[in-house]
Amino acid sequence: MPSPIGDDMRPEVELYDTTLRDGSQGEGINFSVMDKLRIAEKLDSFGVHFIEGGWPGSNPKDIEFFAEAKRKRFRNARLAAFGSTRRKGVAVEKDDQVRLLLEAETPVVTIYGKTWTLHVKEVLRASPDENLAMIADTIRLLKDHGRYVVYDAEHCFDGYKDDSEYALATWQAAEKAGADMVVLCDTNGGSLPGEVEQITRFARSRLNIPIGIHTHNDIGLGTANAISAIVGGATHVQGTINGYGERTGNCNLTSVIPTVALKLNRRCISEASLRKLKELSQFVDEIANIRHDPRQPWVGEAAFAHKGGTHVNAVQKVVRSYEHIDPTVIGNSRRVLISDLAGRSNIVMKAHELGFKIESDTPELKDILSRIKSLEHEGYEFEAAEASLALVIRKILKHEEPPFKIEGYHVSIRRDRSIFVCQASVKVIVDGMAEHTIAEGDGPINALDQALRQALVKFYPQLKKVRLADYKVRILDSSSGTSARTRVLIESTDGKDEWGTVGVHDNIIEASMHALSDSLEYRVMKK
Ligand SMILES: [Zn+2]
């Protein structure tokens, strides 16, 4: 089969990720600025074409994100700030929300505007002409400032069904004002694939600029509607990783991407990236502190698991008999037949990414693989903790002793009326020398972090700038019938780079200590 996806060719379908904006509106999703930066970097290296970072006009966290993101260099993706058209009755130059969009200094700005007369008249309480002027004024101003402008036509399908002439007038107003594309949005998520395809064809026939699609999953058709729009001529698709989003979520890019590449055979992402799809999906869930859904299409643990005896038997004879696609192309694996070979090639690929020289015949590979498997069995997850993974590989590959050893620690918490005092003492050994420190902190983990860092900074001054940026705890299922285990994920930064480490133990303090120690060891090893 000729490859539908090429590395350096222009995509036939552009991928626009809005996990950080629309996705973060989902119940239970709360990204810190650091989380957002890590996800943006991951999306960029994966190869999406646009990353919508947030709405600077809606909250200060997003303003901070764009200020931080300015310092990053993205290799594949263009960063977009999201906002709305100017308010009614206000000159666009005087609109604060539009000003904040420009101040985000992103190459791309996405604005949404009203398509549906119901919204124009009853929600916005504006005249249809005023709404057209709001769309045109805002786009013109953004174009005057050199931005690539994506126009999101809100309630596009509902609006079209109510008054197709007015819907068309809004899209044409955007085109005439200089928008680079019009994105048809199924904001309420209740449209059907057939009508989405038909309305997309209509828009395509009336507009000269590219058409995009933005769907929601309220009746379980978010992905289907996005695919229908692409069949109808859309060349840009917006969605979120794992389908995060308001209510039942946005169209799931984790399903859309492989469907576009492997079922529609449209170029959208490289084959190498596609093989990292499952990893991307798990990474974002880990950062969001959400359990990865085993039944998720394409990337779920169960997506290619064969349990029924006849299925297993048939799959062993002819793989195609019970599988719609080879799971390895999206980084997933067949569960009954999980081969040592597949495990090996995944580790080799990951180790290369982390900068190790390792091949499939490197003698240490077997030990690395079995160590990782046993850690995973204990509850470790490395998708968002690559620094811990790098240490595991390094230790076995280089036969090196760690740069420091924690001999012991003690934590105490005391409450004195309303005042809490947390104190930690840590004893470490570096090059045969013992160092003993005591520190206080806001909580036990913070106190341990302070004490450990104080002990080590004398030997490794590079640790001075390291700080703990985020701390996440997950209680793991206790399948063995013993006590539940705790997984701790720590995100650290030295002001330049961010990295994640993980620890697992029955005891939350011990699990945290593993993750903390890995974080500092990783920074020391990095030189
Ligand atoms: Zn949306």
* Least confident stretch, 63-72, 295-304, 357-366, 475-484: 475-484
**Residue 23 Cα to ligand 1 middle (Å):** 8
**Residue 187 Cα to ligand 1 middle (Å):** 6
Q: Is the pLDDT of residue 7 over 60?
A: no
User: Structure tokens of 308?
Assistant: 């029924």
Do residues 396 and 371 touch, judged by C-beta distance below 8 A? yes
Q: Say how many C-beta atoms besides its own lie within 10 A of residue 340's C-beta.
A: 11
**Residue 196 Cα to ligand 1 middle (Å):** 16
**Residue 108 Cα to ligand 1 middle (Å):** 17
What does the DSSP 8-state code read for residue 224?
H
- Residues contacting residue 5 through CB under 8 Å, at least 6 positions apart: 261, 267, 268, 269, 270, 271, 274
Q: Is the pLDDT of residue 139 over 50?
A: yes
What single-letter amino acid sits at 518?
D
pLDDT (0 to 100) of residue 2: 34
pLDDT (0 to 100) of residue 337: 43
Per the listing, tokens 């001075």 go with 464
**Residue 49 Cα to ligand 1 middle (Å):** 18
**Residue 251 Cα to ligand 1 middle (Å):** 9
What are 368-393's pLDDT values in tens digits? 988 988 898 888 988 889 899 999 99
Band of the pLDDT at 339, cuts 50, 70, 90?
A: very low
Helical H runs in 91-192?
96-103, 117-118, 128-144, 156-162, 164-177
Region 10-23: mean pLDDT is 96
Kind plus residue range of the DSSP H or E element containing 239: strand 236-239
Q: Is 430 exposed, middle or buried (0-12, 13-18, 19+ CB in 10 A)?
A: middle
Band of the pLDDT at 479, cuts 50, 70, 90?
A: low
Coil/strand/helix, residue 17: strand
Angle, helix 33-46 to helix 277-288, in steps of 10 degrees:
180
For the chain, what percent of residues have pLDDT higher than 70?
Answer: 93
**Residue 238 Cα to ligand 1 middle (Å):** 9
pLDDT (0 to 100) of residue 311: 65
**Residue 51 Cα to ligand 1 middle (Å):** 14
**Residue 56 Cα to ligand 1 middle (Å):** 16
**Residue 401 Cα to ligand 1 middle (Å):** 51
**Residue 175 Cα to ligand 1 middle (Å):** 21
Kind plus residue range of the DSSP H or E element containing 271: helix 271-274
**Higher pLDDT, residue 80 or 381:** 80
**Residue 457 Cα to ligand 1 middle (Å):** 47
pLDDT (0 to 100) of residue 484: 80
**Residue 214 Cα to ligand 1 middle (Å):** 7
Q: Say how many C-beta atoms besides its own lie within 10 A of residue 192's C-beta.
A: 15
Q: Is the pLDDT of residue 342 over 70?
A: no
pLDDT (0 to 100) of residue 480: 54
**Residue 326 Cα to ligand 1 middle (Å):** 32
Region 326-346: mean pLDDT is 70
**Residue 139 Cα to ligand 1 middle (Å):** 19
**Residue 81 Cα to ligand 1 middle (Å):** 14
What does the DSSP 8-state code read for residue 219?
T
CA distance 274 to 514: 32
**Residue 15 Cα to ligand 1 middle (Å):** 15
**Residue 127 Cα to ligand 1 middle (Å):** 24
For the chain, what percent of residues have pLDDT higher than 90?
Answer: 71
What single-letter amino acid sits at 225?
N
Q: Is the pLDDT of residue 338 over 60?
A: no
**Residue 22 Cα to ligand 1 middle (Å):** 6
What does the DSSP 8-state code read for residue 145?
T
- Residues contacting residue 492 through CB under 8 Å, at least 6 positions apart: 387, 466, 467, 468, 469, 498, 499, 500, 501, 519, 523
CA distance 169 to 159: 11
pLDDT (0 to 100) of residue 336: 59
CA 195 to chain centre: 30
CA distance 107 to 494: 27
Q: Say how many C-beta atoms besides its own lie within 10 A of residue 246's C-beta.
A: 18
**Residue 18 Cα to ligand 1 middle (Å):** 8
Q: Is the pLDDT of residue 434 over 60?
A: yes
pLDDT (0 to 100) of residue 3: 35
**Residue 58 Cα to ligand 1 middle (Å):** 15
**Residue 285 Cα to ligand 1 middle (Å):** 20
CA distance 351 to 346: 9
**Residue 250 Cα to ligand 1 middle (Å):** 6
Region 105-123: mean pLDDT is 94
Band of the pLDDT at 6, cuts 50, 70, 90?
A: very low
Strand partners, 108: 80, 148
Angle, helix 508-526 to helix 444-457, in steps of 10 degrees:
30
**Residue 203 Cα to ligand 1 middle (Å):** 19
Q: Say how many C-beta atoms besides its own lie within 10 A of residue 125's C-beta.
A: 10
Q: Say how many C-beta atoms besides its own lie within 10 A of residue 367's C-beta.
A: 12
Dihedrals phi, psi of 110, to nearest 5 degrees: -115, 125
